[in-house]
Amino acid sequence: MELTYRPRRLRRTPALRAMVREHQLAPTDFIYPLFVHEGASNEPIGAMPGAKRWSLEGLVEEVGRAWDLGIRCVVLFPKVADGLKTEDGAECFNEHGLIPRAIRRLKQVHPAMAIMTDVALDPYSCDGHDGLVSAAGVVLNDETVAILCRQAVAQARAGADLIGPSDMMDGRVGAIREALDEQGFEHVGIISYTAKYASAYYGPFREALDSAPRANADKPIPSDKSTYQMDPANGREAILETQLDESEGADILMVKPGLAYLDIIYRLRQESEQPIAAYNVSGEYAMVKAAAERGWIDERAVTLETLLCFKRAGADLILTYHACDAAAWLRQG
């Protein structure tokens, strides 16, 4: 065959492939999500093999392990006791609550580790929604944002480096930015859940935090979060959310879930010069774990390929429960 171009020439050896590789993974690309509870011991999470609800001291050890593997950011999620859950979610801004104490403890032991937090009411609400639910069963926007601002300030005061509003209320990024600045936290960044979809992939996460919507005899509770999280059918809407979050002061933009929404990551990358994060969510993690346990796939190969696909689509950062495993595999080469 008389061919001028033979793309296989540059695929012939490992050295040649490495020379022209367009994207690389590194442990510093990963943000490691960690669940924390008040218990004295670490508890395995049934739907997320390998993941745990960490005690405070267990959390300190796990963050140290992540640091040693080259990971430089963790994000904290609380498993709040039922007795502390209320309709107004007021425990979320308790400066002596679980997350502020966890932040302060981590900053004592691992001061260089960047700490991201979650801003939403669902772990703290007896209704299980990210916002306040009215007597008529409506998730209230502006009233919720006022509480989220107090939550964000409490987390910043404890030492958080990045505030992560995951609630999807309109206008919350700008309100949180203003609240942080007014309290002297201009240096604290906002990593916004810009395009967070009303996805079926979150099931294992809600088991880990016991944060799913709950029935309430006193008022109707929406059974899902589709009135504030985005419709999975929509792509252009993500551009609108991107433009709004940028105008309100978000420092990093996030797409959640990640794997089923690679096209949305790509769209945000084309739209914005801000750093883009992708959340490799609990359902995606659980599917890989389940298939690997049955011997149907190679967990290492599939995980590293998946994470690389996020980078190829345009993500700069990846939130993944596989963070420590992936960092270790990358170190092995």
Quick: pLDDT tens for 261-305. 999 999 999 999 999 999 999 999 999 999 999 999 999 999 999
Average pLDDT, integer, range 81-100: 95
Contacts by 233-241, CB closer than 8 A, 24 or more apart: 235/263, 235/264, 235/267, 237/195, 238/194, 238/195, 238/264, 238/267, 238/268, 239/267, 239/268, 239/271, 241/194, 241/195
| Domain-located, residue 14 | no
- Joined together, the tokens standing for residue 241 give 């959310």
| Domain-located, residue 244 | yes
| Domain-located, residue 12 | no
Quick: pLDDT tens for 122-152. 999 988 899 999 999 999 999 999 999 999 9
| Domain-located, residue 92 | yes
Q: pLDDT class for 156, splitting at 50, 70, 90?
A: very high
| Domain-located, residue 305 | yes
Q: Quote the mean pLDDT of the chain.
A: 95
| Domain-located, residue 6 | no
Whether pLDDT at 217 is above 70? no
CA distance 287 to 294: 11
Q: Is residue 107 flagged as an active site residue?
A: no
Q: Please, are residues 245 and 172 in contact by the beta-carbon 8 Å criterion? A: no
pLDDT at res. 194? 98
Number of domains in the chain: 1
Q: Is residue 311 flagged as an active site residue?
A: no
Q: Which of 52, 79, 85, 196 is catalytic?
A: 196
Give the CATH number, domain containing residue 92.
Answer: 3.20.20.70
pLDDT at res. 213? 82
Whether pLDDT at 166 is above 70? yes
Quick: pLDDT tens for 28-39. 999 999 999 999
Q: Which of 225, 256, 289, 311 is catalytic?
A: 256
Residues with Cβ within 8 Å of residue 284, at least 6 apart in sequence: 201, 257, 258, 259, 260, 306
pLDDT at res. 208? 79
Residue 306's domain comprises 22-332
| Domain-located, residue 286 | yes
- Joined together, the tokens standing for residue 118 give 């979650």
Average pLDDT, integer, range 239-252: 98
Whether pLDDT at 107 is above 70? yes
Beta bridge partners of 74: 32, 115
Q: Whole-model pTM?
A: 0.95
